[in-house]
Structure 1
């Protein structure tokens, strides 16, 4: 790749329901050519598709209407702090306020995300193809990042361009084989387009020129970038994960989830976690396959506290991925531990 050029498409103006985006873009960018990548702000796609919600212009009724719209667009809440809600939308995106936006629209409306951004991108791709143009199309929106301050534009939908640039299996200059490197190029191109669009300049479309392969295939769409629940290590906010852990701890089953012996290192970590929760004088002995716990106080009140503390120990084991069962031999608790 010799380099990229990023160009704004000016003059599109306000977009309303039913507008022909392909016509608006080609009219204002007659210089568009095969191989270009269009980066189209999702807001004008939503406006053209009529994805607006009518709300009061101000007052508490406006906030109530916004909350109803947020609830309707939310699959699950990831984290919430005061008025800020990070949610997963029905599309699978994790973003603030489900992408609902009140900027660049009159005060009596909120703009929702397109119902299917990949389908929107493909519709625009096909409309431009009918005009003789083979280009890539990216429908973009602004998101925050979990580990960094500031916002950046990312791809919500894509057509005519592959979402990844896959380097797996390539050999770097030092002879190392790349194992995991898949660059999310449609996100990178979306961010590049934002540099010339801005937020207050009414430039909702940018063209990135020079990226190889754009417009030559329909592509897998931006849905390919969504991480499924099984591989998402950060599916909840800190407070929400803590609350979920407490709920799980309250309902630990007395049935082992596995049969393999537990790793001693994991048991040691669980014991370290639970150490501050056990009453002084509680004896914990490691046995083949588990733990033997004895209370320092065998009065009725002491045994009640001991039972709660043993349950806390089981919760610490569960946090290490270990399942356990518990039986009592008199006042002694026998905790059998398995790798889940």
Structure 2
């Protein structure tokens, strides 16, 4: 078994209106790489938000009383605090330098997933409005242009409860199920699995994050080849929702 991860260089600074699928295909062509059936493309959410014009001008925001309160508690600027509030359904926990919230998408993460890196001064990028739709558009265009069946994952860098450091996490997907339910299968000793499900989209996003990096690496797209469970999980109707734990089962909130 072999899994290949290929960081795609040559991705330009993305601007509003750019077509992400075209940019990916052009970059692959420049590297003499072709799309194959079963390939998975992991795309950083920042370039997706930029292409969709989903940019926050922090100077245009008028901080509310809650934003001023959060700014005082966290050390964040009132404008960033206001942006986090506007992108959230609920503020869950506040610490000395973080705000944990539930985003409009239902994700529980730090700072509503708003990113101030890799964007001009005074601007910030929230998550794409609908990452599943964004992933589907990229997948459908690539499949149309290449004739190959692929999956596309939109990834974000997030922290984890009780663990230091951030990893790549799937926030949108198209082309394959994000969760692999293995209940009913047998382990090495013949025992039947009763609760095992695997967050394959998160695993792939985390693997791709190693190549994407967190600074000036300039690799916002990673091609993953050799995902042996692709055929098992292949579908045109997938979305990321199976990865989101329902609030009634969230014992930490």
TM-score by length of 2: 0.87
- Give the 3-state SS of the residue equivalent to 1:29 in structure 2: helix
Q: Distance in 1 between matches of 2:11 and 2:150?
A: 19
Whether contact under 8 Å (2:177, 2:234) holds in the other structure is no
Equivalence map 1:303-322=2 (5 Å) = none
Q: 1:42 to 1:144 in 2, by over 3 A?
A: same
Whether contact under 8 Å (1:158, 1:219) holds in the other structure is no
Q: Distance in 1 between matches of 2:227 and 2:172?
A: 18
- Give the 3-state SS of the residue equivalent to 2:77 in structure 1: helix
User: What residue is the counterpart of 2:9 in the other structure?
Assistant: 10
Q: Distance in 1 between matches of 2:141 and 2:241?
A: 21
* Deviation sequence 1:111-140 (CA, Å, 0-9, x none): 110011111111111111221232110000
* Deviation sequence 1:80-137 (CA, Å, 0-9, x none): 0134101000100011100011000010211110011111111111111221232110
User: What residue is the counterpart of 1:205 in the other structure?
Assistant: 221
- Give the 3-state SS of the residue equivalent to 1:35 in structure 2: coil
User: What residue is the counterpart of 1:167 in the other structure?
Assistant: 182
Mapped pair 1:93 → 2:92: no
Unaligned runs of 5+ in 1: 236-340
User: What residue is the counterpart of 2:38 in the other structure?
Assistant: 35
Q: Distance in 2 between matches of 1:90 and 1:34?
A: 34
1:175, distance to aligned residue in structure 2 (A) = 2.2
* Deviation sequence 1:247-294 (CA, Å, 0-9, x none): xxxxxxxxxxxxxxxxxxxxxxxxxxxxxxxxxxxxxxxxxxxxxxxx
Q: Distance in 2 between matches of 1:34 and 1:176?
A: 34
User: What residue is the counterpart of 2:169 in the other structure?
Assistant: 154
Equivalence map 1:133-148=2 (5 Å) = 133-148=148-163
Q: Distance in 2 between matches of 1:152 and 1:203?
A: 15
1:219, distance to aligned residue in structure 2 (A) = 4.5
Mapped pair 1:234 → 2:252: yes
Q: Distance in 2 between matches of 1:133 and 1:23?
A: 15
Backbone CA RMSD of aligned residues: 1.9
User: What residue is the counterpart of 1:72 in the other structure?
Assistant: 86
User: What residue is the counterpart of 1:22 in the other structure?
Assistant: 21
Q: Distance in 2 between matches of 1:216 and 1:171?
A: 22
Larger radius of gyration: 1
Task: Choose which of 44, 49, 54 in structure 2 pairs with 1:46.
Answer: 49
Whether contact under 8 Å (2:58, 2:83) holds in the other structure is no
TM-score by length of 1: 0.65
Q: Distance in 2 between matches of 1:119 and 1:85?
A: 27
- Give the 3-state SS of the residue equivalent to 2:164 in structure 1: strand
* Deviation sequence 1:163-189 (CA, Å, 0-9, x none): 122210011121211011000000000
1:56, distance to aligned residue in structure 2 (A) = 3.8
Task: Point out which structure has higher relative CO (alpha carbons under 8 A, 6+ apart).
Answer: 2
Q: Distance in 1 between matches of 2:102 and 2:131?
A: 15
- Give the 3-state SS of the residue equivalent to 1:95 in structure 2: strand
Equivalence map 1:186-197=2 (5 Å) = 186-197=201-212
Whether contact under 8 Å (1:118, 1:223) holds in the other structure is no
Whether contact under 8 Å (2:85, 2:91) holds in the other structure is no
1:70, distance to aligned residue in structure 2 (A) = 1.0
Q: Distance in 1 between matches of 2:25 and 2:149?
A: 13
